């Protein structure tokens, strides 16, 4: 699969739309075990990305990811702003000088997720967005050449999101609740899963 950055125009729109459609649910999740601002934070970033999507889609992958990363860092705020920013800037750094195909994308995404782990001093199983992003990175790396890749990405994202429900929060504001954080899905895991599934839908429609 050889995809150009032109797809970003539709992908950004899809991410923006899916969060708009599910904003009450995501806000509620962050209200229960966080401070309730997660959806507002990511919508702030997504609205700037949506405004600039036409220009971003004209860039090459590395320049596009750098620009997306900068917008995430400067516009989203909260813990999630610097984490999403770190993801895209690290992806750009990893892919620099390479021709981006599915395997290079998989490597860049994995490097981006590892950079988030260092930035957040966090790991899998701590009830954060990483419980979606880490399994998705693994699926990408292990199935980059498989026809089932896109379906497997969506399955991993949904399973990862659901897995946060029974976890004890170790990182972020939810960790202040200790045992009371158990029984609720993490807001960042839900928003990440929604955006990943919406982006994959765009890729599947492009066929």
Task: For the CB of residue 194, give the shortest distance to ligand ADP in the complex, in Å.
Answer: 13
Size of the site for ligand ADP (CB under 6 A): 22
CA distance 75 to 205: 30
Burial call 109-143: b when 16+ CB within 10 Å, e when fewer: bbbbbbbbbeebebebebbbbbbbbbbbbbbbeeb
Q: Which two tokens stand for residue 49?
A: 């990305």
With contacts defined by CB under 5 A, name the span among 33-41, 58-66, 116-124, 149-157 that binds Mg ion: 33-41
Residue nearer to ligand ADP on the CB measure, 41 or 50: 41
Residue nearer to ligand ADP on the CB measure, 38 or 152: 38
Q: Is 173 in the site for ligand ADP (CB under 6 A)?
A: yes
Size of the site for Mg ion (CB under 5 A): 5
Inter-residue contact 4 to 57 (CB < 8 Å): no
Lay out the site mask for ligand ADP across 14-53 (x = CB under 6 A, - = otherwise).
Answer: ----------------x---xx-xx--x------------
Q: Is 193 in the site for ligand ADP (CB under 6 A)?
A: no
Task: For the CB of residue 126, give the shortest distance to ligand ADP in the complex, in Å.
Answer: 7
Q: Which two tokens stand for residue 41?
A: 């934070």
Torsion of CA 144, 146, 14, 63, to 10 degrees: 30
Q: In the window 84-123, what residues touch ligand ADP (CB under 6 A)? A: 120, 122
- Candidates 35, 55, 101, 206: give the one binding Mg ion (CB under 5 A): 35
In 3D space, the residue among 69, 7, 11, 72 whose CA is nearest the CA of residue 43 turns out to be 72
- Candidates 34, 45, 69, 81: give the one binding Mg ion (CB under 5 A): 34
Inter-residue contact 127 to 167 (CB < 8 Å): yes
Inter-residue contact 68 to 20 (CB < 8 Å): no
- Candidates 188, 193, 196, 200: give the one binding ligand ADP (CB under 6 A): 188
Mapped onto helix, strand or coil, the DSSP state of residue 59 is coil
Residue nearer to ligand ADP on the CB measure, 61 or 126: 126
Q: Tell how many helices (H) and how many strands (E) occur in the chain.
A: 10, 0
Residues that bind ligand ADP (CB under 6 A): 30, 34-35, 37-38, 41, 78-80, 83, 120, 122, 128-130, 171-173, 186-189
């Amino acid at each position: 699969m050889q995809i150009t950055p032109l797809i970003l125009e539709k992908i950004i729109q899809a991410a923006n739309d899916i969060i708009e459609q599910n904003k009450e649910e995501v806000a509620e999740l962050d209200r229960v075990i966080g401070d309730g601002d997660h959806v507002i934070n990511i919508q702030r970033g997504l609205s700037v990305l949506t405004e600039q999507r036409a220009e971003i889609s004209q860039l090459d992958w590395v320049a596009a990811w750098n620009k997306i990363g900068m917008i995430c860092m400067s516009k989203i705020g909260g813990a999630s702003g610097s984490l999403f920013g770190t993801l895209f800037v690290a992806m750009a750094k990893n892919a620099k000088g390479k021709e981006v195909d599915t395997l290079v994308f998989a490597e860049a995404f994995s490097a981006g997720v590892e950079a988030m782990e260092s930035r957040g001093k966090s790991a899998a199983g701590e009830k954060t967005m990483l419980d979606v992003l880490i399994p998705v990175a693994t699926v990408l790396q292990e199935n980059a050449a498989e026809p089932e890749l896109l379906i497997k990405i969506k399955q991993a994202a949904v399973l990862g999101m659901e897995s946060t429900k029974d976890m004890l929060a170790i990182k972020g504001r939810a960790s202040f609740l200790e045992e009371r954080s158990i029984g609720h899905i993490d807001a960042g895991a839900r928003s990440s899963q929604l955006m990943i599934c919406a982006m994959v839908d765009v890729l599947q429609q492009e066929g």
